[in-house]
Chains A and B, each alone.
Chain A
Amino acid sequence: DSGVTQTPKHLITATGQRVTLRCSPRSGDLSVYWYQQSLDQGLQFLIQYYNGEERAKGNILERFSAQQFPDLHSELNLSSLELGDSALYFCASSPLSGVANEQFFGPGTRLTVL
């Protein structure tokens, strides 16, 4: 158990809908990262927040957005969902924001878009 929690574990929805994925980092970790894992794209970095502020951005679609709240939990919002958005979404956390920091991964949220 990494100490990172993600809810829900599974999510099934329809095309065009909007969903919110939630992540609670390990106690004391200030950085939260979001990744998408799909069969065709592999593991891709989406976005990072550090202490409430966006720190780094990867291959995140404009239909997707994220935020980190004052209690440090984070939410990833996916809207106008398409079939291709079906994937496993991971959240990770680390104490700080440096490149050498180990990132601790949550168990993921499996999103299925029908």
Chain B
Amino acid sequence: AQSVTQLGSHVSVSEGALVLLRCNYSSSVPPYLFWYVQYPNQGLQLLLKYTSAATLVKGINGFEAEFKKSETSFHLTKPSAHMSDAAEYFCAVSSYNAGNMLTFGGGTRLMVKP
């Protein structure tokens, strides 16, 4: 079985501050990991994905995430938050022993204060 835990359902940062959204996964086989962003009244958009190549993955809009096997983590970071980053962020995992399904975490709503 696979699962994802996102610590913090709500995170608030000031504009220009570091963004850190936490994701821990559980998988009995090597995982593939994804971060998606959902803006209000829209579908999900892929930010970045880890597929067993480089452990530091760079995505769109200045986001990046680091895969740490020893910590079973895949935290999402951005050095400097913009107002436009306010959205809900979902971490997801897939693996060969779970078919092709994505298992999502509960989501983290990021709020950016001016």
Contact = CB atoms under 8 A, between A and B. Distances in A.
Interface residues of B, number: 25
Instruction: Report the contact-size class of chain A (Cβ under 8 Å from the partner).
Output: 20 to 34
A2 B100 contact: no
A98 B14 CA distance: 39
A99 B34 CA distance: 11
Given A55-B99, A100-B51, 19 more contacts: A2-B43, A33-B101, A33-B102, A43-B107, A45-B103, A48-B100, A48-B101, A97-B100, A98-B100, A99-B94, A99-B95, A99-B100, A100-B32, A100-B49, A103-B46, A103-B102, A105-B36, A105-B43, A107-B43
19 contacts: A2-B45, A33-B101, A35-B102, A42-B104, A42-B107, A43-B90, A43-B104, A43-B107, A45-B101, A45-B102, A92-B44, A99-B32, A99-B94, A100-B49, A100-B51, A103-B46, A103-B102, A105-B36, A105-B43
